[in-house]
Amino acid sequence: MENRKMCLALFSGCLDKMTAAGVIISGAVADDMDVDVYVLLQGARAMLKDVAEHKDKINMAENGELREEFIQACKNLNVKEWHEFFREAKEIGNVKFHICGLAGKLWGGEKIEDFVDFADDIVGISEYITKAEEADIHLFI
């Protein structure tokens, strides 16, 4: 039987939403799903090499005053950072991270080498739309 497919549009580049995406992607992989993540707009900024591993460059989505509390709670509970979730999910399952070409350019990312090492390619929006149509589950974060 063919694996079910998840398509996730990762619009947000905020720390809490990137962490939530990491948990969702990990859960999908654990459930033997194939996952295509399309990294859009602010998500692309967060996946730039010089931003990804620096928590101080990434804000919270809502309630910015909770940022430090969120970081401390994650540390206390040994919750991985979002990029660790992404990297580990990719290592154990069929997960692809696609950077939107326009989004990348908006933040100065012209080539795949400008982004985290687990990013697979830079694509146009039509590829995202096609995968979203084909997916069993489609999420937008």
pLDDT at 56: 73
Fold annotation for 5-140: Hypothetical Protein Ychn; Chain: A, (3.40.1260)
pLDDT range class, residue 2, cuts 50, 70, 90: confident
Read off the pLDDT of each residue in 88-111 and give the average, rounded to a whole number.
96
Predicted local confidence at residue 105, as pLDDT: 96
Identify the DSSP state of 70.
Answer: H
Task: Reply yes or no on whether the pLDDT at 119 is more than 70.
Answer: yes
Give the pairing of strands 121-123 and 137-140.
Answer: unpaired
pLDDT at 1: 61
pLDDT of residue 94: 97
Which tens digit of pLDDT belongs to each residue from 6-62? 999 999 999 999 999 999 999 999 999 999 999 999 999 999 998 987 767 777 767
98 versus 64: the higher-pLDDT residue is 98
- What would the mean pLDDT of 76-80 be, rounded to a whole number? 95
Query: Which positions ≥6 away from 101 have C-beta within 8 Å?
Result: 122, 123, 124
pLDDT of 108 > 90? The answer is yes
Task: State pLDDT tens for residues 121-135.
Answer: 999 999 999 999 999
Helix (H, G, I), strand (E, B) or coil at 118: coil
Per residue, the 3-state secondary structure of 7-59, as one string, reads: EEEECCCCHHHHHHHHHHHHHHHHCCCEEEEEECHHHHHHCEHHHHCCHHHCC
